[in-house]
Amino acid sequence: MKVLRDVEQVNDVVSQWKNNGEKIGFVPTMGYLHEGHMRLLEEARKENDRVILSIFINPLQFSQGEDLETYPRDEARDQKIAEENGVDMVFLPTKEMMYPRPLSVQMSVTKRTDVLCGRSRHGHFDGVVTVLSKLFNLTRPDTAYFGMKDAQQVAVVDALIKDYNIPVKLVPVPTVREDDGLAKSSRNVRLSKKERKEAPSIQAALQYGKQLVRDGHTSPEVVIKATEKFLETKTHGKIDYIELLSYPELEFLEEIDRPVILAAAVSYEHARLIDNVVFNKEGNEIYG
């Protein structure tokens, strides 16, 4: 496994692989790898000759007051996990390597960001598309893998690829879950015993909402209210939002007549959990 920090070295290795006709899969991360990342690497390994993992804590994704300085870091552990999961190259650039000078061209996401978690994270997705544009150019992958745990990010990446004709196939990978349905997250360890017992009800509520659509309900308002009522009876956490939107456009609908996302965010004392389910107008899950 190659561990590279220099942009030119990455370019040389990628060029060699491309000249050999090898297919490249790419998994971009901010490190501190967990089982969700491992699932992405597993899928990339299945479908490609070479797998590149990038680890870069992108400062452009953090607004003032967010946890850039305290974001967890463990390069040695990440490299060990990468090697165990068949990664061919780990790209570990520094901030100076990725942004050697102030950017002359600023990227701004104008759609798919003013809903869900993006509503309160101004500028976050501008930073996401900026760093991904650079990483896609550097690694030149055939396929790139993103987890559906952050379905809004997947939607924004989908728009980036389509709007700018980037020659990479986006592969959304289903959320990794505990046996009781709770989406795996590093934040789960912050839950109290009572909260941990309640937390699977987030996914249960979303599945309840999806079932309403399968039963013939086509009103987003009806589904949202019923999902919220279900969740309120199952958890003491504060429901930040429950939204139903078209997917991947993330637009409000008057009727469920196309693929949609039903998503929720719940705040507990020391952790805020998000989850979602994406399904078609018949109520059949798309990324299950």
Asked whether residue 187 is marked as a ligand-binding residue, the answer is yes
Q: Is position 124 annotated as part of the catalytic site?
A: no
Asked whether residue 30 is marked as a ligand-binding residue, the answer is yes
Closest CA to 243 of 62, 109, 112: 112
Catalytic residue, chosen from 37, 122, 124, 236, is 37
What tokens does 23 get? 């297919």
The number of CA neighbours under 13 Å toward the Cβ of 48 is: 28
CA distance 258 to 50: 36
In which residue are the tokens 């068949």 written? Answer: 86
Asked whether residue 147 is marked as a ligand-binding residue, the answer is yes
What tokens does 234 get? 């199952």
- φ, ψ for residue 233, nearest 5 deg: -85, -10
Tell me if the bond preceding 248 is cis, omega within 30° of 0.
yes
Asked whether residue 201 is marked as a ligand-binding residue, the answer is no
Alpha helices for the chain (secondary structure H): 7-19, 35-47, 75-84, 95-98, 124-139, 151-163, 193-198, 201-214, 220-232
Asked whether residue 158 is marked as a ligand-binding residue, the answer is no
Asked whether residue 34 is marked as a ligand-binding residue, the answer is yes
Asked whether residue 98 is marked as a ligand-binding residue, the answer is no
Asked whether residue 184 is marked as a ligand-binding residue, the answer is yes
> Residue 30 in contact with residue 58, Cβ under 8 Å?
yes
Asked whether residue 35 is marked as a ligand-binding residue, the answer is yes
Asked whether residue 95 is marked as a ligand-binding residue, the answer is no
Asked whether residue 116 is marked as a ligand-binding residue, the answer is no
Catalytic residues: 37
Annotated binding site for ATP: 30-37, 147-150, 176, 184-187
Binding residues: 30-37, 61, 147-150, 153, 176, 184-187
Residue list for the binding site for (R)-pantoate? 61, 153
Specify binding-site residues for beta-alanine.
Answer: 61
